[in-house]
Amino acid sequence: MIKLFKVKEKQREQAENANGKPPVKKQSPGELRLHKVFLPDGMITFCFESLEMSAALVILIEKSDISELNLPKTCSISFPNGKDDLMNFEVAIRPDEGHYMGGTFTFSFSISPIYPHEAPKVKCKTKVYHPNIDLEGNVCLNILREDWKPVLNINTIIYGLYHLFTEPNHEDPLNHDAAAVLRDNPKMFESNVRRAMHGGYVGQTFFTRCM
């Protein structure tokens, strides 16, 4: 049965090539799952039935992603590699409360071909003074590590990232210096955060303005 399916599939591809059509690019399970996350309900069936994605469908995905993901108004998504690469995108978070209010922090997302069985790889592209984000952009978020489950999705991660800015946690740090200041001197921590966000040095480290 498997061999027969492969033969028929090869014959179909040869026929399409003979008609001048480009070969159909197969999508990984991660790509299919990602489309399901982004698309409105009426388009999910179409996404799974068709392995060839048109430019119009990509545009639809991009226009509907925020409402479909139910993101807070302080978050936005962009696709810096173009409309054909949905497995790599960026999320900008602009907290409207807490120490980091007024800043803009950009995270890169790289979706694995075996998503959702593997968590996306997420890094902070904005250099930030934060106990749970180190100076190389690594993020300490439990659902990106040991607590990831296939039932979780992109929406869950973005809310988790947003939560890091409203409630930074000194008990599970990547930036141990920032965590110690937050624990021992919250007022100094707030001052350091504002200095870093406005652009300047905190200790020996220079931060680019992100406000």
CB atoms within 10 A of CB 124: 22
Query: Any idea what the Cα angle at residue 118 is, between residues 117 and 119, rounded to 5°?
Result: 125
Q: Which residues, at least 6 apart from 52, have a Cβ–Cβ distance to it below 8 Å?
A: 24, 25
* Annotation says 124 is catalytic: no
Query: Catalytic residue among 75, 124, 140, 210, which?
Result: 140
Rounded CA-CA distance 30/42 in Å is: 20
Instruction: Tell me the three state secondary structure of residue 207.
Output: strand
Produce one character per residue of 34-48: b if its CB has 16 or more CB atoms within 10 Å, e if not.
bbbbbbeeebeeebe
Q: What residues act catalytically?
A: 140
